[in-house]
Amino acid sequence: MNSLVSVIMPYYNKKDYFFESISSVLNQTHTNLEIIIVYDDENKNDLEHIKNCFKNDTRVKIIFNDNNKGASYSRNKAISIAQGKYIAFLDCDDYWKINKTEIQLKFMTNHDYDFSHTTYHVINQNGKIIGTIKAREILEYEKLLQSCDVGLSSVILKRELLNDIKFPELKTKEDFVLWLRLAKKSVILFGIDEPLMFWRQTPNSLSSSIIQKLKDAFKVYYLYEKKNISYSIFCVIRLSIHALIKKINL
């Protein structure tokens, strides 16, 4: 099982964490990788640092946005040129265990799954583990609607699943919309209960903005899932309660 995996990494202002992130990909036990870094910052000050981190490894390519377009646009752009049979996502402040890709691909091949995600450790900005989020085995649409329990940087999926689906232009929750669309198409979203990824919680990240999250969560249900206003508000409250419980349990 030596399929090409395209690893998509949008880059914006993550200089402090990038080396650890890219190194975790370059050192994977599964070596047949295409790594697409989407440089999403009109300021090119970090470019030399980025290039030094992978030292001319021919598996890495950098593509550029004209200006800051956001993670959704960057991922969609990379997907459009990706050559791999599989796509993996990694945000530039997260990182993987060294055998993550190998374990997931073997599992997906043995069980004929097109999508998998994993349990992951939550770390703080200093890299200390502060909690673990467990991957639930199978997430069907109605269950996923209640709580987004898929860690983006843990996902590997078949490229063909994204032929007619894209990330929406949201600041947060954009991955939630994508997973819901796949679940509605009866794609099995299988969770491997093994911590293979480290997700970094930083105080100034978009994902930590509560107001932005609430706004985008409402858009997920009302605009993208076409629920009515009252049910959308209910879903946002339910999602927030699940998120709070996860945070308390970290």
DSSP conformation class of 134: P
What CATH number is given to the structural domain containing 92?
3.90.550.10
Residue 132, SS3?
A: strand
pTM check: above 0.85: yes
Exposed / middle / buried, residue 56 (Cβ in 10 Å: 0-12, 13-18, 19+): exposed
What residues make up the domain containing 209? 5-249
The residue among 247, 102, 132, 249 whose CA lies nearest residue 198 is 132
As to burial, measured by CB atoms within 10 angstroms (0-12 exposed, 13-18 middle, 19+ buried), residue 83 is: exposed
State pLDDT tens for residues 41-93: 988 999 999 999 998 899 999 999 999 999 999 999 999 999 999 999 999 99
Q: Is the pLDDT of residue 144 over 80?
A: yes
pLDDT score for 208: 55
Residue, of 149 and 34, whose pLDDT is higher: 34
Phi, psi of 85 (to 5 degrees): -70, -30
Angle between helices 47-54 and 15-26 (to 10 degrees): 20
- Rounded-to-integer distance, Cα 241 and Cα 91, Å: 25
Average pLDDT, the chain: 94
With CA atoms as reference, report the closest residue to 74 among 116, 14, 122.
Answer: 14
pLDDT in tens, 89-106: 999 999 999 999 999 999
How many domains is the chain partitioned into structurally?
1
DSSP state of 135: P
Query: Tell me: the pLDDT tens digits for 161-175?
Result: 999 999 999 989 999
